[in-house]
């Protein structure tokens, strides 16, 4: 199997993905997580550039290719890691924040990626602090843009958003991402925001958004068989 790289979700560190990394490696795909720490996300706060994350992603992918003598990888993006991965695949220079030159080439990596698997990724959002970045992604790379890459978008169906105790967070988060609070999702990302046109779109019952949340999440052992078959 191809090597796999995991890109953590927003404000997450690599250590929380260690069980998933180990589980995937045991399945036969040597897996590495981009070695992010929570403080590595600080320069991106407030809708700023994702270049600091793309630099670490690119270094990790390059190392995985060399270490495994491979031509391609599987790329797994959890939460925001999914849409950041879409920037990485694309060939249009991500210079909208003025903090990188075209020469650095922290994008146009689609030839290196066989499969992009997104887990609970909000591919659309009305949040003002993500608008500039997500507008760049969706204006330039709508849906499963690159036919040479297989896109697999996994959504969880565990919490229905309502204005009542225990469901307020889900309601508010769904409303901010897809414009509708009364809908199903994983507690943070609504199903309709987690899927892309043209992708293989999967919906899994009972799955919650974060590896830190009690219960099962996308990387739980019982859930893995429902999406790991798409790793080459």
Q: Classify residue 22: in a domain, yes or no.
A: yes
Would you say residue 131 lies in a domain? yes
Tell me, yes or no, whether 172 lies in a domain: no
Kindly state whether residue 114 falls inside one of the protein's structural domains.
yes
Q: In what order do the strands lie in the sheet with 73-78?
A: 31-33, 4-7, 73-78, 113-119, 150-157, 200-205
> How many domains does the chain fold into?
1
**Rounded CA separation 187/208 (Å):** 6
63 in Cβ contact with 32 (< 8 Å): yes
**H/E stretch holding 205:** strand 200-205
The pTM score is 0.97
Give domain status of residue 90, yes or no.
yes
Q: Does residue 49 belong to any structural domain of this protein?
A: yes
Give residue 191's pLDDT.
Answer: 98
- C-alpha closest to that of 181 among 158, 165, 162, 203: 162
Residue 45's domain comprises 4-155+193-230
Classify residue 204: in a domain, yes or no: yes
Backbone conformation region of residue 69, classed left if phi is above 0, alpha if psi is from -120 to 50, else beta: left
Q: What is the pLDDT of residue 127?
A: 87
In a domain, 135, yes or no: yes
pLDDT tens digits in sequence order for the chain, 232 residues long: 899 999 999 999 999 999 999 999 999 999 999 999 999 999 999 999 999 999 999 999 999 999 999 999 999 999 999 999 999 999 999 999 999 999 999 999 999 999 999 999 999 998 888 999 999 999 999 999 999 999 999 999 999 999 988 899 999 999 999 999 999 999 999 999 999 999 999 999 999 999 999 999 999 999 999 999 999 8
Q: Indicate which CATH number applies to the domain containing 121.
A: 3.40.50.1820
- Asked if residues 42 and 85 have their Cβ atoms less than 8 Å apart, the reply is no
CB 199 within 8 A of CB 146: no
């Amino acid at each position: 199997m191809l090597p796999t790289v995991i890109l953590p979700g927003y404000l997450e560190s690599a250590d929380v993905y260690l069980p998933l990394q180990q589980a995937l490696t045991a399945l036969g795909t040597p897996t590495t997580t981009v070695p992010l720490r929570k403080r590595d996300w600080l320069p991106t706060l407030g809708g700023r550039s994702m270049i600091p994350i793309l630099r670490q992603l690119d270094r990790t992918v390059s190392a995985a290719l060399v270490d495994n003598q491979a031509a391609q990888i599987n790329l797994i993006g959890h939460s925001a890691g999914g849409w950041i991965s879409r920037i990485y695949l694309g060939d249009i220079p991500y210079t909208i924040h003025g903090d990188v030159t075209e020469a650095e080439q922290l994008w146009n990596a689609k030839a290196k990626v066989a499969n992009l698997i997104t887990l609970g990724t909000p591919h659309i959002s009305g949040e003002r602090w993500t608008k500039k970045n997500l507008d760049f992604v969706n204006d330039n790379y709508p849906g499963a843009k690159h036919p040479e890459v297989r896109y697999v978008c996994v959504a969880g169906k565990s919490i229905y958003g309502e204005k009542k105790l225990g469901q307020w967070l889900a309601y508010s988060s769904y409303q901010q991402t897809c414009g509708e609070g009364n809908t199903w999702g994983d507690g943070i990302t609504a199903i309709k925001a987690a899927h892309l046109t043209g992708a293989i779109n999967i919906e899994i019952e009972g799955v919650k958004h974060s590896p830190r949340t009690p219960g099962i999440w996308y990387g739980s052992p019982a859930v893995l068989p429902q999406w790991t078959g798409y790793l080459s």
